[in-house]
Amino acid sequence: MAKPARPNLVYIFTDQQRADTMAAYGNDWIEAPNLDQLADASFVFENAYVSSPICTPSRSTQMTGLWPHTNGCIKNNIPLPDDVETLAEFFPDEYHTAYYGKWHLGDEVIKRRGWDEWHSIEDQYRGWHTKAEYDEVLSDYHHYLIGLGHEPDKDLRGKKVFSRPFAATLPEEQTKATYLGDRVGEFIGRNKDRPFAICINFFEPHPPYAGPLDDMYDPGELPQLPTFMVDPPENSAGMHRLMAEAQKTALADSGVGTADLFGRDLPPEEVSGEGPAVDTEEEFRRIQASYYGLVTLMDRGVGRVLKALEDAGIADRTIVVFTSEHGDQMGEHNIFQKVVMYEQSVKVPFLLRVPWLDGGMVAGRYSHIDTIPTLLELMGLEVPGHLQGASRAGLLHDGGSLEDNDVIITWNGRSIDLTFPLTELERMRELPHRAVVTGDGWKLNLAVGDQCELYDLNNDPYEQVNLFDDAAYSDRVVEMAWKIRRWQIETGDVALIPDVYPGVGHVAGMR
């Protein structure tokens, strides 16, 4: 079929969904029929990577087409500056634009410039409001729960709100996934006769690891990777080793402490939802089962969106994107959640359904930085010159691959809400890391003040053998380090990274 004159865009992304949670990426036992159906009609990107393995920086790239160090959102909870344009502002005036779901780029419940509609589901980021009057505003989902007769259970910045643990106890029909799917369906029905672009962020499968489908999967039957409950290599990055050690320490304290796996002060009931409560295989598997239940719950919400497109008769003129903002370790390398450079944290699903093009597997490595220019070109719209990615639309038209493409991953620290003195883990997590994954399947992770890492993903896909200090790989380390350095020069990234040279140890100094 021919490309329609003014195609629609439905851009769906989830929160904390690793790539291997759907059939298109080898998971043959999870129930996600809607994503499976979407994948069958889509381009499936074999290896898709985020710009950073944490919420705000990653989604800042997805929404602006810029690297975190360019748009300013280098850590969690940094508001996106007012002068930075978002995807909504790249569409012609005749397009009706909307953002539904979690935002996590500042002032969560306040409509951002450029979006014609704004529908919020989160009240947990009130602490980072930029104006006091925003504290009077509560999310659309909050008002929905109030209308059902529920009572808020948490005091937060002058208001009673619904905590995430409370939301996790709700029946399926009242969850954020169902609510969001229904509201987006209503949006599609209202706007089927005009061109539109809507971004939808489903909260699931983000913690708390609990929901109405907790019992859907048998924990004892879940397949496991070789790194499940196995510590990171002894010579791995200190940030990685300390993450595993911190989790063990928290579990040894029986979960009654006031800090979660990231060191944040939280009530004990919220800490318990952020990871396992005890250091046992049974508990790790229980958390995994709940996580996969949340994936299935989210899939059903996505199904509502896809059905709405079919019911409105506009599926054949609507591009659909499905991806996530980062993954989750799920016990791999003895770590839960994200922030590390392992594949389970930095690699996500990426599906792109273009009704007028035949889909299929896209080999090689893809970066989120390329998403906005690719979508705009596919839609026949102008690609702004300031975007830092490259359009891959031509590759999709021609049936090419990304096997020669390198991707960059950045890390600049966890969040702006640090309290001093820092723990050793917090201090190590504040060190900038820069990683490159090359087209031929090697990963280099560099940091000043931390152990650097080199992994051969072809022969060591689970990153169990760090080759960085092996002199036999000196030339490869130098070549890959220069890829990172050239990227820094091209994009204006000023983070310090080590200088390296051929020979044992490699590290010569720092920039």
The pLDDT tens digits of the residues spanning 267-293 come to: 555 555 788 888 899 999 999 999 999
Return d(Cα 73, Cα 86) in angstroms, integer: 13
Q: Domain residues of the chain, as ranges?
A: 8-510
According to the model, what pLDDT value does residue 260 have? 55
Confidence of residue 265 (pLDDT cuts 50, 70, 90): low
Closest CA to 56 of 416, 331, 341: 416
- 140 or 270, higher pLDDT: 140
According to the model, what pLDDT value does residue 324 have? 98
Maximum Cα interatomic distance, the chain, rounded to a whole number of Å:
67
CATH numeric code, 8-510: 3.40.720.10
Confidence of residue 255 (pLDDT cuts 50, 70, 90): very low
- For the stretch 464-473, what's the b/e string if a residue is b when 16 or more beta carbons lie within 10 angstroms of its beta carbon? eebbbbeeeb
Dihedral pair phi/psi, residue 279, rounded to 5°? -90, 70
According to the model, what pLDDT value does residue 259 have? 46
According to the model, what pLDDT value does residue 511 have? 38
According to the model, what pLDDT value does residue 420 have? 83
Q: How does DSSP assign 116-169, residue by residue? A: SEEE----TTGGG-SSGGGGG---HHHHHHHHTT----EEETTEEE--HHHHTT
Mean local confidence (pLDDT), 128-149: 97
For the cut 90, the answer to whether the pLDDT of residue 55 exceeds it is: yes
For the whole model, what pTM was predicted?
A: 0.95
Lowest mean pLDDT among 130-134, 300-304, 456-460, 501-505: 501-505
According to the model, what pLDDT value does residue 422 have? 85
Return d(Cα 493, Cα 480) in angstroms, integer: 17
Contact 211, 292 (CB under 8 A): no
Dihedral pair phi/psi, residue 224, rounded to 5°? -130, 150
The amino acid at 75? K
Return d(Cα 107, Cα 89) in angstroms, integer: 18
Burial class (CB in 10 A: 0-12, 13-18, 19+), 489: exposed
Dihedral pair phi/psi, residue 48, rounded to 5°? -110, 135
Which three-class secondary structure string do you get for 209-240?
CCCCCCCCCCHHHCCCCCCECCCCCCCCCHHH
For the cut 60, the answer to whether the pLDDT of residue 297 exceeds it is: yes
Measuring CA to CA, how many Å separate 358 from each of 53, 197, 351?
A: 31, 22, 13
Closest CA to 354 of 120, 26, 30, 41: 41
Query: Which residues neighbour 395 within 8 Å (Cβ) at sequence distance 6 or greater?
Result: 362, 401, 402
Q: What is the pLDDT of residues 344-354, one digit of tens each?
A: 999 999 999 99
Contact 412, 491 (CB under 8 A): no
Name the average pLDDT for the chain.
93
- 248 or 479, higher pLDDT: 479
Task: Say whether 413 sits in a helix, a strand or coil.
Answer: coil
For the cut 70, the answer to whether the pLDDT of residue 510 exceeds it is: no
According to the model, what pLDDT value does residue 51 have? 98
Mean local confidence (pLDDT), 89-118: 97
For the cut 80, the answer to whether the pLDDT of residue 395 exceeds it is: yes
Percent of the residues in the chain that have a pLDDT greater than 90, as a whole number: 86
Contact 301, 178 (CB under 8 A): yes
Cis peptide before 205 (omega within 30 of 0): yes
According to the model, what pLDDT value does residue 73 have? 97
